[in-house]
Amino acid sequence: MAFEEIREIRIKKLQESEKKFGTAFPADVSLEMPLKEVVDNFTKFSRRRKPLVLCGRVMAVRGHGGVLFCDFNDGTSGLQACLKKDILGNEEFVHFQNLVDVGDFVEFEGTLFKTKKKEKSIKVVSWRMLSKSLRPLPEKWHGLLDVEERFRKRYLDLLMNKDARSVFETRSKIITELRNFLNGSAFAEVETLMLQPLAGGALAEPFKTHHNALDIDLFLRIAPELYLKRLLVADFPKVYEIGRMFRNEGIDATHNPEFTMLEFYEAYQNVDKMRDFVERMIKVLVKKVFGKQVVKYEGNSISFSKKFSVISFYDVLKRHALINDAQNVSREDLELKAGQFGIEVASADSEDKIRDNIFKKVCRAKIIQPTFVVDYPVELSPLAKKKKDNPNLVERFQLIMGGLEMVNGYSELNDPLEQKARFEKHQDLRQKGDKEAAEYDKDFVDAMEYGMPPAVGVGMGVDRLVMFLTDAHNIKEVILFPTMRPKEE
């Protein structure tokens, strides 16, 4: 039967339901408890003489003669409803037969019992329509050839696909455990502005908008960093924020223009201790959410039972891109090596930008077990402190797992004069055409001049972490409503 015919039939059933109930979308609901509580305590509630009132979405209806069985689900669990003509009466029984479709929300009143096949059920003495569905649920959602349709109609994906639902239930647990760990470590959760006068705190191209009343351009934030560090100036020693970031860049398996990030900052801390803190946080998270120390990602077993490895940025280039003496190699040789890997080099690209592109596009995917990459060039970290023993490098680490960058942390630059000089250098890069170079944030430099304590900051991509821990192969699988190209009609 064609979709429009089905819809017309359901609209007629809706009209009949409204004649019977007054409305097919009542505001008052008499739900006593979620189905999970009923199922988990079935023996206790089955002894109750007083009828229970339970609600849910009809997922299947079957039966013959004077008996109907209806599977319904409320999002916490499922149960079977048993409707008998000799209990309901002929009129109520026939109304259910004729008016209720799979997808409708129904309220059942009755007592609990088990069928001969030991199926947990409710023996219905009355029922009521709570919400009439006009479109039929898909029968074979798992078999959809158009994967993008799952993302466009995520509500159906979550309803019909248990695996998809499980991913987002796990995502919720992961975010909860991140908060629990930070709250338990005396960090304060804060909220900073999403519309910023300057897009700072990361090297990325922003989305631009305009505020009509103030007649000023604003940018959707690419990172909360510079505002969280203003709180360090204000003597907040430990702060964190979990929120949405926006970057006007390409979409691929690991990038979405709108994504969730965790950033946290601790004053009077050093980068080595913070690295240990991050390692401990990840290990506790994995243990609490999954109850084990090994997870699978793209066919690899990732172990969290051992100490995480540590390797320098230049040693990664040597090991995985075969660039010897990567710190001192000539630009000509860098461009040649980039070309061998199919990496385009723009005239505005600095040597460190070329190194970073090789690292991101060649080396990172080869780092599978949890590994901290350390000792990055200064140019790639305009907000990080230089190392004492090598002013060309900064006190920074990235945690790579399963070939994905999960965490970025560094000792925060708190010298306002050096910060000013680095911003000015990035202005030169912007003038040469680098749209991702850092903006000069004068107000932030002014804040630093009041004094900012030594501190370490950490950023973590929540979506990628969820991807990794749920063995998802595309970031769209872990974002409820990912950015999609408009569908061609």
Residue 204: phi and psi, rounded to 5, are -160, 160
Q: Tell me the backbone φ, ψ of residue 241, rounded to 5 degrees.
A: -145, 135
Residue with tokens 């039966």: 63
Token reading at 12: 């007629």
What does the DSSP 8-state code read for residue 6?
H
Task: For tokens 């890997």, name the residue.
Answer: 341
User: Which residues are documented as binding site?
Assistant: 405
Annotated binding site for Mg(2+): 405
Q: Which residues pair with 294 in a beta bridge?
A: 303
Which of 131-149 are b and which e, b meaning 16 or more Cβ less than 10 Å from the residue's Cβ? ebbeeeebeebeebeeeee
Category of 420 on φ-ψ map: left (φ > 0), alpha (ψ -120 to 50) or beta? alpha
Token match 């009949």: residue?
16
| Helix %, strand %, coil % of the chain (to 5) | 40, 25, 35
Strand partners, 209: 218
Cβ atoms within 10 Å of 324's Cβ, excluding its own: 10
What distances in angstroms separate CA 423 from CA 289, 381, 415, 489, one per listed residue? 41, 11, 12, 47
Provide the strand spans (E) within 33-187.
Answer: 52-64, 67-73, 78-84, 105-114, 120-131
Q: Quick one: which of 382, 390, 380, 386 has its CA closest to 358?
A: 380
As a whole number of angstroms, the distance between CA 395 and CA 381 comes to 9
